[in-house]
Amino acid sequence: MNHYKKLIVLLLSCLLFALSSCSKTISLTADSTVVSVGETTITLDEMMYHVLLAKMQGELYASFLGEKDFWTKEYEPSVTMADQMKQYALDNAIKYEILYEMAENKDYSLTEEELSVSEAQAEDIEKTIPEEELKSLGLTNELIEKIQRKISLSTKYYEDYLLTLSADEKEAKLRFEEKFEELKKEYQVKVNNSIWEKVDITNPSIPG
């Protein structure tokens, strides 16, 4: 009898632990880590820039195709267009971070002209997207300019890196995509799914 009592107490303890674990909610903040690339982190506000660009691209597709249900449309079995574009945003952020680190290791830098182009691209985003929307994503002008500089340097290195993979641009890009998983392992990429799964690409925002 005592054995059964102990078993019931143990089961109740486990149930209470499970319930208390479920009650703990993970809040989204601008500095929440979404991805770590080695010792470097991509915070939620930076990730929102890539989410914003993917959302804009999705809306452009929807407008071009004349589809009101674009986001819920099936991309492949069990994967909606929203799922696919969200993955696209995540992959882009990771690729740019890896390429940025590769560029820095090779002592790459932007010329004055390239910096000017980067600043102009950042200004275009700032002018195109309403201030309130940028604010809801945690995107300040300073952060947008910083991210855009990173993208510009990554792209500069990427173009040279492709030449080491193949003389044919199309083939080189294909090889890079094939190498992406290997690069993620090499650069110790880890995604914080408890944060990332809470991001809604159709209506992204950071509460607060």
Residue ranges of E strands in the chain: 33-37, 40-43, 74-76, 79-80, 189-191
Q: List per-residue pLDDT tens for the chain, 208 residues long.
A: 554 444 444 444 444 443 344 444 567 899 999 999 999 999 999 999 999 999 999 999 999 988 889 999 999 999 999 999 999 999 999 999 999 999 999 999 999 999 999 999 999 999 999 999 999 999 999 999 999 999 999 999 999 999 999 999 999 999 999 999 999 999 999 999 999 999 999 999 998 6
Q: What is the pLDDT of residue 25?
A: 57
Domain that holds residue 77: 48-196
> Residue 137 in contact with residue 47, Cβ under 8 Å?
no
Name beta bridge partners: 80: 74
Residue 26 in tokens: 């993970």
In a domain, 6, yes or no: no
Q: What is the largest CA-CA distance in the chain?
A: 82
Q: How far apart are CA 180 and CA 178, in angstroms?
A: 6
- Strand partners for 36: 41, 190
In a domain, 170, yes or no: yes
Determine the pLDDT at residue 16.
41
Residue 3 belongs to a domain: no
In a domain, 71, yes or no: yes
Per-residue confidence (pLDDT) for residue 8, from 0 to 100: 45
Does residue 63 belong to any structural domain of this protein? yes
How far apart are alpha carbons 32 and 46 in whole angstroms?
10
Assigned domain for 23 exists:
no
Domains: count for the chain: 1
pLDDT on residue 26? 61
Q: Is residue 201 left, alpha or beta, with left meaning phi > 0 and alpha meaning psi from -120 to 50? A: alpha
Beta carbons of 200 and 20 less than 8 angstroms apart = no
Neighbour tally for 125: CB within 10 Å: 19
Look at residue 4 in the predicted model and tell me its pLDDT: 46
- Alpha-carbon distance of 138 to 132, in angstroms, equals 10
The answer as to whether 55 is a domain residue is yes
205 within domain boundaries: no
